[in-house]
Amino acid sequence: MNSQNNPLLKELNGTIRLGELFCGPGGIGLGATLACVNGLKFDHIWATDYDKDTCKTYKSNLHPKEVICEDIRKLNFENILKKHGNIDCLTFGFPCNDFSSVGEQKGLDGSFGALYQYCVNALNVFKPKFFVAENVSGLKNANDGTAFSHILQAFQNTGYKIYPNLYCFETYGIPQKRHRIIIVGIRNDIDLTFKIPSNVPYKNIDNSVKTALKDIPRNVANNEKTVQSDKVIERLKYIKEGENAFTANLPPELQLNVKGAKISQIYKRLKSDEPSYTITGSGGGGTHVYHYKENRALTNRERARLQTFTDDFVFYGTKESVRKQIGMAVPPKGIKIIFEALLNCIIGNDYETMEAKV
């Protein structure tokens, strides 16, 4: 890495100081840890979240200088700035509950929808060189399509060039059909243009469920199996790969008396030769995600594999808490690709790019 003709590289001195809001268990954080280009890498300074188990998971695995376990509405950003100094990059996976295609879709009118404003406030206080924001694909359609443009404009107004894109992570070699909007921001006074990393280099990767779930170490953490009832086991015997409780040919005594759920993921088996469907934090009523062959729900470690967490990444809390943490996270190896594109952009390296899809 030659910084002689690159004042930005000289200022960074090999390290991008990272702060995170809504950090979750560390999907984005682990992605940053895995990303390193020409010696330029990220250094975790601080992270915030409101959930105690999530904070313990993040701190124990990523070892930032501080994890602040507090509701963002109670945080004092100025105090964090005084304590830890400037950061170079701010990341935030602001809550998606009100933008998700699953649920009431309240958008900006919901209790979670307006929390993006705290990210805007943080950008105004910390003024990082870069930011990386994440949300669900449903953000595009919230409030009849106005929420997305409203949020993008708010980020721009803080002094950033923004580069949003809908990333379909299964096209980047991730073993899961997970679609997320990622917004990269570069401060206006920095003469850089971010380009979307192409998915072409990843098209020949085997990202099937079968490959992702193979060779899990026997004593790895978070791999306890769920005890299935006899009736659930019997029901699963009739459900083939890719089928659910409503599309399978079940005998009457094993059918579910629920209307309007023909495309539901309830008791849906994975398909062994494809990426999985989207892993969520839910688990009740047959939504645990079910093994393509064995008559059982996936373990949390198997869910973590489909999210591309490394096997040495340990989640803390009850089994239900861990399931929620994994389901709410961003695939680390997916976000790693975006971070590496940003690093290449900063260094001035060429990399394969594609047009944005938003």
Residues 6 or more apart in contact with residue 260 via CB below 8 angstroms: none
Secondary-structure breakdown of the chain: helix, strand, coil percentages, each rounded to the nearest 5: 35, 15, 45
Strand pairing of 130-136 and 40-49? unpaired
- The length of the chain in residues reads 358
| DSSP per residue, 5-74 | T-HHHHHHTTEEEEEEES-TTSHHHHHHHH-EETTEEEEEEEEEES-HHHHHHHHHHH--SEEEES-GGG
Strand, helix or coil for residue 162: strand
Separation CA 128–CA 48 (nearest Å)? 16
Q: Is 96 a catalytic residue?
A: yes
Distance, CA of 65 to chain centre: 22
Q: If DSSP codes are grouped into helix, strand and coil, which group holds residue 193?
A: coil
C-alpha separations of 143 from 110, 146, 251 in Å = 10, 5, 43
Residue written as token pair 């591309």? 308
CA separation for the pair 137, 278 (Å, rounded): 12
Structure tokens at 252: 């009457």
Contact 37, 349 (CB under 8 A): yes
Amino acid occupying residue 160: Y
Q: Which of 23, 55, 89, 96 is catalytic?
A: 96
Q: Which residues are catalytic?
A: 96
